[in-house]
Amino acid sequence: MITSLNTIQSNANDGFIRVYNRGAFVSYFRIEYKLGDWYHELYSREIPVLQSDTLKIPANATNIFFQVWVALFIQTWVVKYVETFLYPPQSCYRLSGTVYYTYCEGIPCPVGDVGGSPSLNSPCCCCCKPNIII
């Protein structure tokens, strides 16, 4: 089932994933999660260079699956990163590199970030290896 988060009531405990594209490519990301008995799928917009996008995940979602896709050619996309979570994360990621050498790394979200609209020039200061969050 494909849903829009506009139809789901926001909650302070909601999770989110934000992706900053600092690479030399266009990207998007996909999130799948289970809510009750139903699976839901969300897609970010296509993210140009030096921009970002955020998708919110309901607080009671489980079995969250996160994928990052990069445009290889016109209308040809490849998966560059996959991660799973048991519960909704509040995570930020930075993409860098080129189409053929793409890096996706977990980064600290700005202080006080709760998944609202990002600034296009939000700082990404420190990097860490992605982890599975339990």
User: What's the structural domain count of the chain?
Assistant: 1
Residue 49: predicted pLDDT: 97
Enclosing domain of residue 82: 5-107
Q: Is residue 125 part of a domain?
A: no
Give the Å distances, CA to CA, from 60 to 3, 88, 123: 16, 8, 30
- Judge whether residue 8 has pLDDT over 60: no
Asked if residue 69 belongs to a domain, the reply is: yes
The verdict on residue 121 lying in a domain is no
| CATH classification at residue 26 | 2.60.40.1430
Burial class of residue 52 (count of CB atoms within 10 Å of its CB; 0-12, 13-18, 19+): buried
pLDDT reported for residue 65: 98
Is it the case that residue 57 has pLDDT exceeding 70?
A: yes
Cβ-proximal residues to 4 (8 Å cutoff; 6+ apart), any chain: none
